[in-house]
Amino acid sequence: MKLDPEARYAKTHEWARWDGEEIVCGISDHAQESLSDIVYVELPEVGDTFAKGDAFGVVESVKAASDLYVPMGGEIIAINEDLEDTPELVNQDPYDEGWMIRLAPSDPVGFDDLMDADDYEAFVAEEEG
Amino acid sequence: MPYISHSNKDRDAMLAAIGVRSIRDLFKDVPAYARFPELALPFALSEMEARWELQALAGADFTAADFACFLGAGAYHHFVPAVVDAVISRGEFYTAYTPYQPEISQGTLQAIFEYQSMICALTGMEVSNASHYDGATATAEAVITAVNVHRLKRRKIVISPWVHPEYRAVVRTYTQGMGLTIVENGGSQNNNGLTDLLDDGTACVIVQYPDFLGRFEDLGVLAEAVHAVRALLIVVANPIALGLLKPPGEFGADIVVGEGQGMGAGLNFGGPYLGFFATRKKYVRKMAGRVVGQTVDTEGNRGFVLTLSTREQHIRRERATSNICTNQGLVALAAAVYMVALGKTGLRRVAELNYHKAHYAQRRIAGIDGYSALDDKPFFNEFVVRCPQPVKEINDYLLDEWGIIGGYDLGRDYPHLKDHMLVCVTEMNPREDIDTLVEALGEMNNETMSNEQ
């Protein structure tokens, strides 16, 4: 399971990472592996606002469709348009090219409430049982 | 799988396996008074007697095959070529229930794929689903799709009053609880009057083509106005008319729906009918219903499967745009056979026959004393005439005295069209039928006048 040491993780397997004043989000390597081949990512529109934990989109794979939840509340500044034609980027490079949204966080301190890479790794191990 | 009924030996073995003495014991949990109630049923009939009884019942009805039919208004008497029944009555098609496992249903899946492809060609759209129950529910699903395309942020829908009254009612029924505002433009006679109602809260506009009164017009201007506010244009189309008229996809429709009954299904006392639904590729994930796709198997051979299942409620219930989980497989197959049997040229010929016969009829009827055409808009195979007597009286007279099924009484749905009849003429009305209708209407005038003297 690959991890991004700079990112923090939500229990719903999304990651968040600072880039300047903005937060970049996507789904973890563990998530993309569980989903298997991703065929479609439904993203919100720029300007949409979400509270922490709200569903901001949907990721569809050959075997399932799952809601995506914002790890931190805020306003959508940008979405990864490449995912429209090449959703498989999420499988190939979940922490970099497979990024999904950038947002202006409403509560920057919330970042610290998320799990860091080690905590997330332990969390996943426990979830697997 | 063969059907072989159980023998007493089978039953005894099963009862022994579960440790029950008799079948009656299985109903122990049902309260005694309800367990085996007395039913006031007559004795069982033999097959022969049952057939006599049913034939007597059926004999009390007549059908469009018995009398000349000039009634349309959403259900049309069109010719069903023999090849349609020959194909759909095959046991593999006729008796199979939702046969969509690709391993054993390639024939069915391919037929539906071809149906979808032909619907796209007919309507000028990019993708079609495997069908809905009927034109009315397909229209309702189109509205729900449009509202979902706008992510539920736009709640106003504009629907022309010249969309079939029952379709408008079904749209209202289906969208209950969705918080939609449904605006029907009461006053305007033509579709372009709808543009006044558009704003950026509008999710979609629904028009019928040809409309309920049989008229058609260029919808390009309306399409532009609808797109200018980023709403969707939904066109309810008559598939037979599309053999002659410009396909809605070419003038900017975003979703095309309609009733496919005219293509191989017959009148059937109201059903089963066939709702077709076609749209642009970009809306495919908001489209309800089954979709058959073409793919390759592990050996590289072409095959067909149900696809895009993640739109449906068994994979992600809260996010599905509909709860419909079926299609009209057999009726869609009939329509596919019809379209293939006629082809582009054949369908055009059918449309032309409808058009020319209807125009002949309109000319002749409008020439009868007391009858006049509603307006001079172009029409396909239905037209409106103002009548000198109430429509119900005319229809009773036509049926009782002449064995003719008259047209639709528009006063039922449009108060300002009291005493107006919607007359439908199809390829199933030979010229003699039309001439007889004209004669009959003239005779009624004579009788009415002599009654008044």
A37 near B CB under 8 A: no
**Do B319 and A58 make contact, defined as CB atoms within 8 angstroms?**
yes
Residue B190, pLDDT above cutoff 60: no
A46 near B CB under 8 A: no
Q: Give B315→chain A minimum CA distance, Å.
A: 7
pLDDT of amino acid B313: 61
Query: Which SS3 state, helix, strand or coil, does residue B441 take?
Result: helix
Instruction: Calculate the CA B63 to chain-centre distance.
Output: 19
Compute the count of residue pairs across chains A and B with CB atoms less than 8 Å apart: 16
Measured CA to CA, the distance from residue B235 to residue B255 in angstroms comes to 6
Range(s) of the domain holding residue A41: 10-128
Residues of B in contact with A64 (CB under 8 A): 310, 315
The β-bridge partners of B422 are B384, B408
Residue B237, pLDDT above cutoff 50: yes
Cβ atoms of residues B120 and B280 within 8 Å: no
Q: What is the per-residue pLDDT across B349-407, written as a single tens digit (0 to 9) for each?
A: 999 999 999 999 999 999 999 999 988 899 999 999 999 999 999 999 999 999 999 99
Residues of B in contact with A42 (CB under 8 A): 285
> Who has greater pLDDT, B218 or B371?
B371
**Do B310 and A64 make contact, defined as CB atoms within 8 angstroms?**
yes
Residues of A in contact with B319 (CB under 8 A): 58, 65, 67
Average pLDDT for B160-165: 95
Measured CA to CA, the distance from residue B366 to residue B363 in angstroms comes to 5
Residues of A in contact with B316 (CB under 8 A): 58, 65-67
**Do B285 and A64 make contact, defined as CB atoms within 8 angstroms?**
no
Q: Give B355→chain A minimum CA distance, Å.
A: 45
**Residue A4 maps to a domain:** no
What six digits make up the tokens of B74? 């959403």
Task: Name the residue ranges covered by the structural domains of chain B.
Answer: 68-77+343-452, 82-338
Q: Which CATH number fits domain B68-77+343-452: 3.40.50.10470, 2.60.40.10, 3.90.1150.10, 3.40.190.10?
A: 3.90.1150.10
Measured CA to CA, the distance from residue B59 to residue B290 in angstroms comes to 39
Residues of B in contact with A65 (CB under 8 A): 310, 315-316, 319
Q: Give B371→chain A minimum CA distance, Å.
A: 57
- Mutation target for B interface from A35, A60, A66, A83: give the one with most B CBs within 10 A: A60
The β-bridge partners of A58 are A42, A67
A65 near B CB under 8 A: yes
pLDDT of amino acid B187: 47
Residue B188, pLDDT above cutoff 60: no
**Do B319 and A60 make contact, defined as CB atoms within 8 angstroms?**
no
**Do B285 and A40 make contact, defined as CB atoms within 8 angstroms?**
yes
Cβ atoms of residues B360 and B433 within 8 Å: no
Q: Give the list of residues 6+ apart from residue B42 with CB closer than 8 angstroms, or none.
A: none
Q: Give B122→chain A minimum CA distance, Å.
A: 29
pLDDT of amino acid B310: 63
A118 near B CB under 8 A: no
pLDDT of amino acid B453: 66
pTM of the predicted protein model = 0.87
**Residue A5 maps to a domain:** no
Average pLDDT for B107-111: 92
Nearest to B315 among A42, A45, A65 (CB): A65
Q: What is the per-residue pLDDT across B420-443, written as a single tens digit (0 to 9) for each?
A: 999 999 999 999 999 999 999 999
Task: Return mean pLDDT, chain B.
Answer: 92
Q: Give the list of residues 6+ apart from residue B206 with CB closer than 8 angstroms, or none.
A: B139, B142, B143, B157, B158, B159, B160, B163, B171, B234, B235, B236
**Do B310 and A65 make contact, defined as CB atoms within 8 angstroms?**
yes
Residue A124's domain is classified under what CATH number? Answer: 2.40.50.100
Average pLDDT for B110-132: 96
Q: What is the per-residue pLDDT across B259-285, written as a single tens digit (0 to 9) for each?
A: 999 999 999 988 899 999 999 999 998
Cβ atoms of residues A3 and A122 within 8 Å: no
Phi, psi of A77 (to 5 degrees): -95, -35
Q: Number of folded domains in chain A?
A: 1
From residue B392, how far is each of A52, A55, B213, B407, B408 by CA, in Å? 64, 57, 18, 10, 9
**Do B310 and A67 make contact, defined as CB atoms within 8 angstroms?**
no
pLDDT of amino acid B316: 67
**Do A65 and B285 make contact, defined as CB atoms within 8 angstroms?**
no
**Residue A1 maps to a domain:** no
**Do B319 and A64 make contact, defined as CB atoms within 8 angstroms?**
no
pLDDT of amino acid B303: 96
Q: Give B308→chain A minimum CA distance, Å.
A: 9
Q: Give A49→chain B minimum CA distance, Å.
A: 13
Domain B82-338 class? Answer: alpha beta
Among all residues of chain A, which has the CA nearest to that of B153? A48
pLDDT of amino acid B3: 80
**Residue A104 maps to a domain:** yes
B11 near A CB under 8 A: no
**Do B315 and A64 make contact, defined as CB atoms within 8 angstroms?**
yes
From residue B87, how far is each of B82, B90, B133, B149, B349 by CA, in Å? 9, 6, 21, 38, 23
Measured CA to CA, the distance from residue B271 to residue B166 in angstroms comes to 15
C-beta atoms surrounding B46 within 10 Å:
8
**Residue A57 maps to a domain:** yes
A58 near B CB under 8 A: yes
Cβ atoms of residues B102 and B303 within 8 Å: yes
Residues of B in contact with A60 (CB under 8 A): 310
**Do B310 and A42 make contact, defined as CB atoms within 8 angstroms?**
no
- Mutation target for A interface from B308, B319, B321: give the one with most A CBs within 10 A: B319
A54 near B CB under 8 A: no
Q: What is the per-residue pLDDT across B312-342, written as a single tens digit (0 to 9) for each?
A: 666 666 667 777 767 788 999 999 999 999 9
pLDDT of amino acid B289: 87
Q: What is the per-residue pLDDT across A73-120, written as a single tens digit (0 to 9) for each?
A: 999 999 999 999 899 999 999 999 999 999 999 999 889 999 999 999
Q: What is the per-residue pLDDT across A11-32, written as a single tens digit (0 to 9) for each?
A: 999 999 999 999 999 999 999 9
Average pLDDT for B117-123: 98
A60 near B CB under 8 A: yes
**Do B319 and A67 make contact, defined as CB atoms within 8 angstroms?**
yes
**Do B316 and A42 make contact, defined as CB atoms within 8 angstroms?**
no
B316 near A CB under 8 A: yes
**Residue A79 maps to a domain:** yes
